Structure 1
């Protein structure tokens, strides 16, 4: 009997995933060059705010180039690397960083509206990519990101790092191996909206000298600068993000998809209700309750500010339940989470270091634990939920064709035009 932390080979992963119907259809990737014992993978870092600095610390030994449209962010990151003995080049425009031939991979921690463009351009430039979650701003962007990774044979890891935590993996293994019986429901709890507006928003103003605001906007619609819309506050506006649905949903829905075995698929119907800020000081949901129906009949309910749905992911079967969150793993009956997974049962991809897994896969050519296809499918669930509550009606989704059925207005929200001269693919 193997322990919950038992390792699994790539071959075993594909075999067991096939049994569960969750194989990602993608060729094995051959790296551009094989990294020998004396060679080092060099990374460039695009976006150096809070999460960007956190990612930078994970890759300090690889960092060779840094980029941010805010010179203050860039200066702080340069100090971080200098303090750790790294001499990094500095850029304001990510396209200049991508021209560097010595950069093997890029780490993208920009606001969401920049993810797709930088990922596609990086893949086209021959770079491997670690991109923060949510992978995309729209459903259409996500598919183009997958296509760019595959056509260029690049490794693209989505920053949904919960997949590299043993309690999340073990919870999903227990569900996939029938420990709670037939799966019937999944409850996903997401965080409340921590918007910055305690009083009315400040008036629009001139951008600060340290910020290239036009480049910060990039492909997003042009509008006047407002300090409460930029940097972390981007998360609260549809032009740049999808609120806590895409922020925390990209974590906990991702685990739900893993446990259901739907990494290459998704729901067939999405409907729900939401409340928004009465003065629209921000645009995203204040609270929501969204119901996703899957082809198997399993229903996933995503709740924000719902008293019966706790932050995290809860799997409900006809013989028990499993709840998992960061630092938490419980079950009913309680002995479910004490059960080992047998050798001949399903063992999911085992990674104990999300950032390290990315580097390992660049060297080996194997797909990472949260490959671009997986990140795209999880983000798609988030986007479908937002579309349903924004329009206030049920959305019918074809997960094979990746199309909203019979609703032109909803379909239009699955993509967004880019501000000229920016284009994607």
Structure 2
């Protein structure tokens, strides 16, 4: 960075200086090149704009040592990840991470986990309707001391076969809900009525009506709700908001976000557990809040592929992209939505599309928000925020490119101090770190800023920070970053696109009546 008294050069300065020097032929040309090189090396537009790119704040902390007793409802793929983020990784996982670290020095998952903050919680209760998942969660919840062998565990948490019994337990203060979407609303409503604080995974609800009902109950309670959008903790997203608040992009008129995957796992074709059967799965409880259906292992393990249980690309993946933009720009619920797409590749009996587009209009902001997704192509596209003066590419790596026709940066462009083809500002937390990923899915989420972030050079699990914020807000009786108001905006926005797609029509939000029409 430049010191305050360091002179900044531009090409006009150089030409004006050389005009006073006798014609020196090649020497003058060489001097011009040297001065140009110097100004390219010393000019930083961040300095000129008064930006301190790497003034990262410390993680949220209340300073309280109050123990919070937590029950987890749902311990499948996401439930296990949240247990790890909370400090309760299964011994088998830790053993695998430790062995991988010995073989690959760039694989820091084990060390990252050991260095996570102690969140001062106890997992006292577990509920899962699949016996295998329940057993796994019991073992993980007993691993507060980070053992790498199940033989060293003494299981203390209690298993509940019905979530209602868990939320009414006297030794549970708060619940983490990581079930399929069709259970989110009712479980959260029941938990709030029981006075339990709530961390619930996205999407918030399966239907619009559920979103209204849940918001009403939360507003009438004293519980702290955090929706599981861990991108709220991503350093580059927070930095993006700081930069946009300084009007660095100028007037913003178009936003494009996307999801691209190209493998069965990314399209929710998850493995079917060999021990899954009617004796180990409580199918009756699984389908309780939705349409009845005969027992189906595919529907149980790949529930995201059916409207009865999931919310498709809208509620599952669009919400990640929308929430990232909403935290930066405070967009709120759009005025209108249209959507299109279809089942173009995965002809496997699913109901939800594998290609999906949604376009939202914000006429009060003179702005369009576009989402595009394919589950059968891996072409990387990012979050792009387009303003009159600059374009921001917003992922784990943040880049801002000046626009050729910018008004705000006209002088710097004319002087050659900035180049439209190169970022004028780059922000990359942990830019000197090398991250190792073990799967295409993990790499995908990491690139989107949804797996890890970096704080003061240290790689940290974003879900860990998100859970930490929720717990600290419980201790301080404050609202977290993705509270019920933010969650409601996410839910309604996603549902508008889903309704537009399923009903093949344009959908509107009546802000005065708070109704989707």
The answer to whether the superposition gives a TM-score over 0.5 is yes
Kindly report which structure 2 residues correspond to 1:26-425, keeping only aligned pairs within 5 A, or say none: 39-59=66-86, 60=88, 61-84=121-144, 87-192=156-261, 207-231=277-301, 233-262=302-331, 265-277=332-344, 281-294=349-362, 295-305=364-374, 310-325=380-395, 327-333=396-402, 334-337=423-426, 353-405=465-517
Q: Would the alpha carbon gap of residues 234 and 163 (structure 1) be closer, same or farther in structure 2, given more than 3 Å must change?
A: same
Pair 1:308–1:217, CA change in 2 (3 A): closer
With normalisation by structure 2, the TM-score equals 0.65
Where does structure 1 lack aligned partners over 5 or more consecutive residues?
Answer: 11-34, 340-349, 406-425
3-state SS of 1:187 partner: strand
Distance change in 2, residues 1:38/1:296 (3 Å): closer
Query: 1:109/1:91 Cα in 2 relative to 1: closer, same or farther (>3 Å)?
Result: same
CA distance in 2, matches of 1:113, 1:57: 24
What is the CA–CA distance in structure 2 between the aligned matches of 1:176 and 1:308, rounded to whole Å? 33
Deviation of 1:402 (Å): 2.8
1:56 CA displacement: 1.5
CA positional deviation for 1:38? 5.6
Q: Which has the larger radius of gyration?
A: 2
Q: Provide Cα deviations, 1:368-390, integer angstroms capped at 9, x if missing partner.
A: 01112212211221111111122
Deviations 1:274-316 (A, max 9, x none): 1225857111112122211013121001001399995442211
Counterparts in 2 of 1:308 and 1:101: CA distance versus 1, 3 Å? closer
Structure 1 range deviating more: 146-155 or 114-123: 146-155
User: Structure 1, residues 115-151: CA drift from partner, whole Å, max 9, x if none?
Assistant: 0000000000000000011111112212222221121
Between the aligned partners of 1:228 and 1:36, the Cα distance in structure 2 is 46
Structure 1 residues 171-205: Cα deviation after superposition (integer angstroms, max 9, x where no partner): 13322331111111111102448657999xx9xxx
Asked if 1 retains the 8 angstrom alpha-carbon contact of 2:237 and 2:328, the reply is no
SS at match of 1:315: strand
Tell me which stretches of 4 or more aligned residues in structure 1 moved more than 6 Å.
196-199, 306-309
Name the Cα RMSD after superposition.
3.0
Shift of 1:337: 4.0
Q: 1:4 to 1:249 in 2, by over 3 A?
A: farther
Query: Is 1:175–1:183's contact at 8 Å kept on the other side of the alignment?
Result: no
Aligned length in residues = 362
Which SS does the other structure have where 1:228 is aligned? Answer: helix
Structure 2 segments unaligned to the other structure (5+ residues): 1-50, 89-120, 146-154, 403-422, 429-454, 456-461
- Is contact 2:399-2:427 (8 Å) kept? no
Q: Which of the two has greater helix per residue? A: 2
Paired with 1:311 and 1:74, the residues of 2 have a C-alpha distance of 38
Under a length normalisation based on structure 1, what TM-score does the superposition of the two structures give? 0.78
CA positional deviation for 1:322: 1.0
The DSSP-based 3-state class of the residue aligned with 2:513 is coil
Query: Retained in 2: the 8 A contact 1:68–1:92?
Result: yes
Displacement after TM superposition at 1:102 (Å): 2.1
Contact 1:81 1:88 in 2 (8 A): yes
Q: In structure 1, how many angstroms separate the alpha carbons of the residues matched to 2:164 and 2:286?
A: 14
Deviation at 1:6, TM superposition (A): 4.5
Q: State the distance in 1 between where 2:76 and 2:388 align.
A: 45
